[in-house]
A and B are shown apart, each in its own frame.
Chain A
Amino acid sequence: MLTVATTALELGLIYSLTVLALFLSYSMLNVCDLSTDGCFTLGATVGAVVAVSGHPYLSLPAAMAAGVCSGFVTALLQTKMGINSLLAGIIVNTGLYSVNVAVLDGSPLMNMNKTDTVFTAARDLLAGTPLAGWSDILVGAVAAALVILFLALFLNTKLGLAIRATGDNPDMVSSSSINPSFTTIIGLCVANAFTGLSGCLLGQMQKSVDVASIGQGVVTIALASLLIGATLLGRGPIALRALGMVLGAFLFRLVYAIALRLHMPAFMLKLVSSVIVVLALSIPYFKSQWPMLKRRLAHRSPAGKEVG
């Protein structure tokens, strides 16, 4: 059981960076960024190539920079070229497949079995200390803590307020002499930097990158985690809500890991995450419809026909 929780924590922490990215783009900026899958993979491929060339630490900023570029293109399509934001994400996502294979020099697969990564570096660093077995979790925890700290500071700066207001009331942003296109671009660039970092860390932890599968469905998984997190810690200061995102990612992974233990086949993960997202998004709707439904049911005549 402990190994189940440990695995859930490892993966949860790494995926939580993508959840935090969506926390910025989806919860704050009110943009559902469907380029997330491709951007996650981009972070993984760029990170892998840089790590394989012998720079494990440099791979992290490189993956983030790649994420920024991807976010910039998505933002440009929707703010400067009049393309619907969902469509912009899908278009970039599709294009990124080719980019990702190109980054891996034409091959859809990359192996990092003998590569120095941030995870092997952490393992070497902690070897012989009581924390030796926890190095993977520590890497993820440090990354998540830094991102939470950044968001807690950033979203309370004037730029951060403007980004939040863009999602809340774009009219008001423009009448405060701030260009809503500018805030959307900055917001998506920052968010995708975290998505890229998330992909980079996952690739390095599992020591391989498969362009076709590593990022597939990540946006739905992250959204499911986000909605779980928002249910648990949806109010209060930004730092607390951001912590809720990490908690959501962990719980999602935990439930999934337990289901695997109970012999749910691994390929069910994506269906499970889809169902969670559907439930989390539809429950508020059904809640609002419930009083009406109750009245209609109460209004039925004894014969079972509706009155009126």
Chain B
Amino acid sequence: MLDISHISKSFNPGTVNEKKALTDLSLHLEPGDFVTIIGSNGAGKSTLFNAIAGDFMADEGSIVLDGHDITFLPSHKRSKSIGRLFQDPMRGSAPHMTIEENLSMASGRGGWLSRITRADRAVFREKLALLDMGLEDRMRQPVGLLSGGQRQALTLLMATFCPPKLLLLDEHTAALDPATAEKVLEITRDVVDQHKITTLMVTHNMHQALELGNRTLMMDSGRIVLDVAGERRRSMTVNDLLDQFRQRAGKTLDNDRILLS
């Protein structure tokens, strides 16, 4: 589904502040893969996502999504097949526009000069009801009035309204309180399962990294240092994971927000 070959990215090249954020990184995902990613601070997890989503072009290498070379495609064109959620719940929706207006933009329904129809509203209502947050009765309220968890759930709905080929989740529950985070994660799992969306998820929760999905990557210094799946992953504990990281990266995992439980 996704084929990343030998991509590299440096920031401020040729200066004292040069930082190699990604170094000759390759990754292959099968359709339906749900991959969790963990890594130390500045390991390049978000940079990898930015490269895939098209916030910048990689200095070298190529990215192929479902047979299409997207290496040089601008981000708004990639977003047709890539859905994305950030840690900040505010980034995914327009605060001064209503829930239905936000959904209308994400839905891709109708042409440029079309307006929100009754049929659109019925579809939005039905999808919002699945979130079980009562948002279906607040469709004409501005999104800025929602709580962080509600906004993140709405963003998830928007990102998957037309099921994307690839879903990028960048610690999308990290800014939420534990109960809400659990709820958003549950919705995420349902949506991904239902549409069999290939998913990459960055998390700082080691337990979650092993429990969710079918494959786990560990990143350090712009490289993938550990890639486990299948039987080996099933038998792994959080301690095994930390040991492995120490061996591969030659240092202990130093993510200041890491959750071991």
Contact = CB atoms under 8 A, between A and B. Distances in A.
B79 A174 contact: yes
B114 A161 contact: no
A172 B94 contact: yes
B61 interface: no
Contacts of B80: 177
A164 B76 contact: no
Interface stretch (B8-16, B103-111, B123-131, B186-194): B103-111
B91 A172 contact: yes
Nearest to B96: A168
B101 interface: yes
Contacts of A180: 76
A179 interface: yes
Interface string A176-214: 111110000000000000000000000000000000000
Among B76, B79, B95, B104, max chain A CB count under 10 A is at B76
B74 A157 contact: no
A145 B92 CA distance: 35
Give the interface size bracket for A toward B.
20 to 34
Interface string B154-190: 0000110000000000000000000000000000000
Contact of A158 (B74, B93, B95, B112): B112
Contact of B113 (A157, A171, A176): A157
A161 B104 contact: yes
Contact of A178 (B97, B102, B105, B114): B105
A272 to B, nearest CB: 30
B94 A158 contact: no
A26 to B, nearest CB: 14
A158 B92 contact: no
A177 B77 contact: yes
Contact of A165 (B97, B113, B115): B97
A107 interface: no
B97 A159 contact: no
A156 interface: yes
Contact of B93 (A159, A172, A177): A172
A169 interface: yes
A151 to B, nearest CB: 14
Given A161-B101, A164-B94, A171-B91, A176 B114 contact: no
Contacts of A129: none
Contacts of B83: 175
Interface of B: 74-77, 79-80, 83-84, 91-97, 101-102, 104-106, 108, 110-116, 158-159
6 pairs of A and B residues whose beta carbons are closest in the complex: A168-B94, A159-B112, A165-B94, A169-B94, A174-B76, A177-B80
16 contacts: A156-B115, A158-B105, A161-B97, A162-B105, A164-B97, A165-B102, A168-B95, A172-B92, A172-B94, A172-B105, A174-B76, A175-B76, A175-B92, A177-B76, A177-B80, A180-B76
Given A157-B114, A158-B113, A180-B76, 5 more contacts: A158-B115, A162-B105, A164-B96, A165-B101, A177-B79
Interface of A: 156-159, 161-162, 164-165, 168-169, 171-180
